Amino acid sequence: MRIEDVRTFTLRGLMPCEGEFWEERLVRPIDVYQRFREEGPGSLKRVSESTVEVAGTYLEIATDEGVSGIAGPIDSLQVSIINGSLKPLLLGEDPYQVEKFWDQMYRLMVHGRKGETMMAISAVDCALWDLKGKALKQPVYKLLGGPTRDRVRAYASTLGYSLKPEAVAKRCQSFVEEGYTAMKWFFRHSPADGVKGVERNLELVKTVRDTVGYNIDLMVDCWMSWSVPYTIKMAGKLERYELAWIEEPLLPDDINGYAEVAAAVETPIAGGEHEYTRWGFNELIKHKALDILQPDIMWAGGISEVLKICALASVTDVSVVPHTGFMASTVNLLLSQTETLCPIAEYLVKWNMINQAFYKEQLKPEKGFFKPTCKPGLGFEFDEGKVVEKT
């Protein structure tokens, strides 16, 4: 079997949606500037009162035996890198050589060790694993040595939901009723918002705890927008709420700052969503900067590389909880790892509505857990009936 083509395609279609899809946004590092701080959450293009337009671009690696592997969604910059630089490495080659391909892509694109280039490499790697699983008629988690368990616990990640107290309480209740035993909420305010921002951040956490009590694990996400003093101060104020972790309080390159925070506060510190490769995560481990590593499989180097990150973490007291946009990759990887190392999966509720809008069956938790699938590869298929246009 040989790789015959490497191509990208874009799907467009409609998704049911009543009212505004994006109700609120998270705090961002650029919000230190007033004009950006005042920006709203953005919106999807509305087609009718009950539908919005969605689109996604995907990578497909096809072989001369009719077996293909797919990964995505990816963006236009990744498309350009794949088509311009990575595709020639793959054409005519044996698709089972996943490790060789990764090493060749990394060595060829040595100026792209982070960011969009590594995201493009990640997409190729995930598509190759999907192809390999389909060719062997096995789920990827079995090829990786799993399953290690009969289900994976999930947490509801609430990016995009309203932060008004009454809306937060209602949403929390619905998540508990759906069976979730953990949830993460996103702060909207940073040091630039002063005392009122502190109060609103605390109000959010108090509202959640008052609604769900202390039997539900609660995480909070700062999305790289705090400072070391602000994080230490906020961690002290939040300690009474017994958070499972505080996520990404600092910019990703501030490893020393993370180490200072981790040493100063009782609450576990999570991060690494915007870090890349085993080398980047090794620095975080060496500096004792984080208690929980959060590589995104579609960004940090793909399944092949996150396996190595997991191996690094396994010889420390650090756990791995991947950031997740491409749910299929995370579920398969976690099913191949022990629960002590990878205890829980992120389910970005709203983003997965978009990212899985064209699937025949969406990969979503059942009563708060993901269960293994017997489907080959990464376990998802597109439903052509949900596609209005393919280009």
189 catalytic per annotation: no
At position 319, the amino acid (one-letter code) is S
User: What is the set of domains in the chain, with CATH numbers?
Assistant: 3-137 (3.30.390.10), 142-383 (3.20.20.120)
Three-class HEC string of 108-140: HCHHHCCCHHHHHHHHHHHHHHHHHHHHHCCEH
Catalytic residue among 189, 274, 287, 323: 323
* pLDDT tens digits for range 232-259: 999 999 999 999 999 999 999 999 999 9
Neighbouring residues of 284: CB distance < 8 A, sequence distance ≥ 6: 255, 258, 271, 272, 275, 290, 293
Write down the pTM of the prediction: 0.97
Q: Are 350 and 161 in contact (CB under 8 A)?
A: yes
* pLDDT tens digits for range 2-42: 999 999 999 999 999 999 999 999 999 999 999 999 999 99
* pLDDT tens digits for range 70-101: 999 999 999 999 999 999 999 999 999 999 99
Alpha helix stretches (DSSP H) within 289-326: 297-300, 302-314
* pLDDT tens digits for range 341-356: 999 999 999 999 999 9
Question: Residue 59: what pLDDT?
Answer: 98
User: Helix (H, G, I), strand (E, B), or coil: what is residue 358?
Assistant: coil
Average pLDDT over residues 111-139: 98
Separation of alpha carbons 228 and 238, rounded Å:
15
Separation of alpha carbons 242 and 262, rounded Å:
16
Q: Are 380 and 363 in contact (CB under 8 A)?
A: yes
- Reply yes or no on whether the pLDDT at 218 is more than 90: yes
